[in-house]
Amino acid sequence: MPVAIRQLTPVFAGEVDGVDCTRPLAPDEVAAIEAGMDRYAVLVFRDQDLTDEQQIAFTRHFGELESYKTAGHIRKNPDQRLRPGMADFSNLDKDGNIIAADDRVWFFKLGDRLWHSDSSFRPMPAKYSLLSGRVLPSWGGNTDFADMRAAYDALDARSKAEIEPLVCLHSLIYSRAAIGFTELSEEEIAAFRPIRQRLVRRHPVTGRKSLFLASHAGAIEGWTVPEAQMFLRDLVEHATQREFVYSHEWRVGDLVMWDNRQTMHRARRFDDRNEVRDVRRTTLAGDVATIEQPEFVP
């Protein structure tokens, strides 16, 4: 069966048919999915009963797994629930029990309920992320996506000219401080040092421009911090209007794949004290540092 994609909203996001993510893909299937990502930015694959090994193998059709020496999270205990290459976005501890409400690892995970782009706090931001729904709660727990291309296109000409040359500073320190989590060690503060990212980025294939926003963005070079944070809040509010957002209602077996270069996303709340939400992410390394884009030419 050839790959078919049905658009889910008037702006972006598509549901894929004709792909079995548990097996190796043919070159034409890889090409069709990549073209779909360029167009829709978010793809949904239904009824994919994946193992961790199969999810990693599927992800590697589209690039190299993201790997960094510095932490992208906080771990109280080095033991991991999942194998290397898999990121745990569940509400479970390493023993498979619901994580304690006062566990600082849980505090850190709560930051994912803010709008963000994966690894925008890295020198090379992430390319694709793929999230697999293994165990889901009876209500809530949606994942919202915002199309940052459409948000950019909707700006007036004056705003586009103003933001084109701007460089933001991204750090996990900023996003976690936004939810009141500021108790970081000196080692963590050093690992989460701010990274420079352009506020406007270009897609390497389509050339289309998009806003590069995230809760990790907490400053703009050359601006005062209060002014920068208010400006960034306004941009996020603009970029997450209803017409730019797709809210994914999870089913067991869903695999959702998104392009961090063109979208923001956030997790939504659920009954995390009484129900399990076991979702597992693989992430592809980025292809270019945004700061290396050509300088703005008026």
Rg (alpha carbons) of the chain, rounded to whole number: 19
What does the pLDDT read at residue 69? 62
What does the pLDDT read at residue 134? 98
Sign of the CA dihedral 265, 270, 272, 276?
A: negative
Given the candidates 3.90.1150.10, 3.30.70.600, 3.40.470.10, 3.60.130.10, the CATH classification of the domain at 4-292 is 3.60.130.10
What does the pLDDT read at residue 72? 58
For 153-170, give the DSSP string. HTS-HHHHHHHTT-EEEE
What does the pLDDT read at residue 297? 45
Q: Which is nearest to 248 in space by CA: 34, 41, 43?
A: 43
Domain boundaries, the chain: 4-292
Q: Is 262 helix (H, G, I), strand (E, B) or coil?
A: coil
> At residue 108, what is the residue type?
F
What does the pLDDT read at residue 298? 44
Q: How far apart are CA 219 and CA 217, in angstroms?
A: 6
∠ CA 92-93-95, rounded to 5°: 110
Each residue's pLDDT, cut to its tens digit, for the chain (298 residues) gives 799 999 999 999 999 999 999 999 999 999 999 999 999 999 999 999 999 999 999 999 999 999 876 555 555 445 689 999 999 999 999 999 999 999 999 999 999 999 999 999 999 999 999 999 999 999 999 999 999 999 999 999 999 999 999 999 999 999 999 999 999 999 999 999 999 999 999 999 999 999 999 999 999 999 999 999 999 999 999 999 999 999 999 999 999 999 999 999 999 999 999 999 999 999 999 988 899 876 544 4
Q: How far apart are CA 121 and CA 64, in angstroms?
A: 19
Sorted by sequence, the CB contacts under 8 Å of residue 211 that are 6+ apart come out as 148, 151, 152, 163, 199, 200, 235, 239
What does the pLDDT read at residue 99? 97
- Determine phi and psi for 193, rounding to 5 degrees: -55, 145
What does the pLDDT read at residue 75? 53
Element (H or E) spanning 151, and its range? Answer: helix 148-153
What does the pLDDT read at residue 71? 57
> From start to end of 24-142, where are the E strands?
42-45, 87-88, 128-135
Q: How far apart are CA 267 and CA 26, in angstroms?
A: 32
Ramachandran category for residue 127: left, alpha or beta (phi over 0 → left; psi -120 to 50 → alpha): alpha
Q: Which stretches within 154-259 are classed as H helix?
A: 157-163, 172-177, 186-191, 225-239
What does the pLDDT read at residue 68? 74
